[in-house]
Every structure is written in structure tokens, then in C-alpha cells.
Amino acid sequence: MLEARFKVVFLIVVLLFAAMPIIAILRGTTTTPFEENDPGSQASVESGDIPAATETPLDEEMVLIPAGPFLRGTDVGGLDEGPPREIYLDAFQIDRYEVTNSQYGQFASATGHRKAGPPSRYAKNVSKMRGSNQPAIYVSWDDAVAYCQWKGRRLPTEAEWEKAMRGTDGRLWPWGNSEQPDGANWARVNDGFEASAPVGAFKADKSPFGVMDGAGNVMEWVQDWYAEGYYKESPDRNPPSPEFGVYRTMRGGAYTTTGGDLRLTSRSKMVPDFRDETIGFRCAMSLENGAGETANHSEKSIENQSSRGSETQPK
């Protein structure tokens, strides 16, 4: 009898631990002084930058991230965000914007893949997130991989995502190291959006390389399996994903995010078949022979001119 009770208790504990990531997404995080003291403030969104749901879909753009080192991680965040280390990455390209409803819809129509939609009969905010230029949501990790492969691309590695969003100077937010409560589409202020915003609407949420919406809007799947202590043991040159895991990693904040999760160094995790209105993605691409050629020449590839030559090349 005692052994049977022990097995029941052990099973309950395992189920609780397995459910913690889902509970965290559903509940959100703790409030911040900005939310407590200034709940009615308006975010810095230019009205002319907010496309309507019927607006012409945005052109796809990819940004070239030059080869060189960057500072990954921080010692002021969670245990899985450190230790901070200099990591070297080969040059790659990454989507300037999160994949949109329009773009994902083209993929679903062309391939017969399931559409980006809720896995159940209800989703309270879906009607507010159908704009052509709003990010595609309710996509699993496998859905994101399938889309990127269709485009001749792949998901970014976790290290690539962090470099593209932080630049090379170790900043914690796209604009620097000082918090800006209205800088991105978060749950901290009244920014005029009940859910996600059209991609690129928040001009402050722009990385040093010109990549948009890394801090807010929707969380983004990346290639890697999640491993809490991986930053301590990973190689310092082009770190790959851990070989296996239970969860896939997600990076960036969402329109529901508050508290300490706003840092660009924050790491999230979820089982790969999970779909939610706060999760989207963007694609990346390795360079061929270091010449900047891509597998899809029809897409626009734009290099950030201000950062050209700012990073060292391999010796």
C-alpha cells in the first residue's frame, strides 16, 4: 500500500513539473513598477505605421548579420541566461520581420499544410489577430520548420537569434540597457493593441542590425532544444542545438509579456507540438561559400550598412 501511494505522489509531482511551462504562458509574469504606476500610458507607436487588416502585405526582407563575435547571455538574469560569453558566429541572414499571416497563408495554400489557427474551438483573441501583416500564430515548432523549408530556409539557432536582436555590444533591449516600458508590444502599457501588432509597428523594437520585434509582439520558435545549463558547456563558435531534449526553445517577448521576461537574453521553452496565440517565428539562412548568395534569389536581402565592417572576420 505504501509503495502504491508513493507511486501516485511521484506521478503527480512529475505532471506538475511538466505543466509548469504551459501554466507560465497562461498566467503571464509579475507586474513591474511601470504597470503599477502608469497603467494608462501610451506606447510610442506612430499611427501611420499601423497597417489595417486589409493593407497590402509587406514585402519579405532578410537582413545580413556579418560574421564575428558577440556577447551571449547575461549575469543579471535567470540561471539559464548565463554565464555571459563571447560567441563567434559565421555570417547568416534572418527575416527582418516575423512571418506574417499573409506569408503563412500562401504556404498553406501551396502545400496543403494546416493553416495557422487554434487547435481547439475557441481562442479569445484570434479575431483580433487576422491582419495580413500581423504575425502568424498558433503554429507549432514543426509547422515553423515546414514553412522555413518551403522557403529554402531554416529556423535560426538560439545564438543566431540573440545576436541578430542584441547586436555586438551586449545590450539587454533593442534600444540599449535602460528599460523603456513603451518600447515594444508588451502588456506593460496601453499601446492601442489588444493582441499582436502588425510587424514593424514599434519603431523602438529594432535591433542594431535592423531586425524588428525581437522584444515584443509574439514569442518565436528557434531551432534549438532547450537545455538550462547549455550556455556553460556549448562551444564558443557556431554553437549547435543540444542533441536532444523535451522542450524546444522560444525567444523574445509577446504582447502578454511583463516583468523580467522582457530582456532579450530571456529564454523560454515549450513542447514542440504546442500552439498558442502568443507564439510565432521567423526564418534564417546560412550563406553559401561566404558570398552572400541565398537559396531563394527572389527575396530581397538587405545588409545593415551601419554595422558593415564593425565585426572581425575569421583569421
Cα gap 220→253, rounded to integer Å: 8
Q: Which residues contact 91 (CB under 8 A, 6 or more apart)?
A: 64, 65, 66, 67, 287, 290, 292
pLDDT value at 222 more than 90: yes
Q: Is the pLDDT of residue 309 over 80?
A: no
Backbone phi and psi for residue 190, each to the nearest 5 degrees, phi listed first: -85, 100
Pairing of strands 248-251, 279-281: unpaired
The domain spans of the chain are 2-307
Highest mean pLDDT among 24-38, 49-63, 155-169, 279-293: 155-169
What one-character DSSP code corresponds to residue 173?
A: B
pLDDT recorded at residue 123: 62
More confident site: 290 or 183: 183
Q: What digits encode the pLDDT tens for the residues 82-110?
A: 999 999 999 999 999 999 999 999 999 99
The rounded percent of the chain whose pLDDT value lies above 70 is 72
More confident residue, 209 or 29: 209
Strand (E) or helix (H) holding 279: strand 279-281
Q: Tell me the CATH class for 2-307.
A: alpha beta
What is the rounded average pLDDT of the residues 285-298? Answer: 53
CA 81 to each of CA 57, 73, 75, 161, 214: distance values in angstroms, whole numbers, following the listed order? 36, 5, 7, 14, 16
Q: What is the pLDDT of residue 262?
A: 86
Give the span between the Cα atoms of 262 and 28, in whole angstroms: 12
Amino acid, res. 89: L
Which is more confident, 5 or 315?
5
Give the per-residue pLDDT at 19.
58
What's the mean pLDDT in 4-33? 53
- Give per-residue pLDDT as tens, 181-205: 899 999 878 888 989 999 999 999 9
pTM score over 0.85: no
115 near 108, Cβ under 8 Å?
Answer: yes
Q: Using CA atoms, how far apart are residues 139 and 99, in angstroms rounded to an integer?
A: 11
Q: What is the pLDDT of residues 243-282, one digit of tens each?
A: 999 999 999 999 999 877 789 999 999 999 999 999 999 9
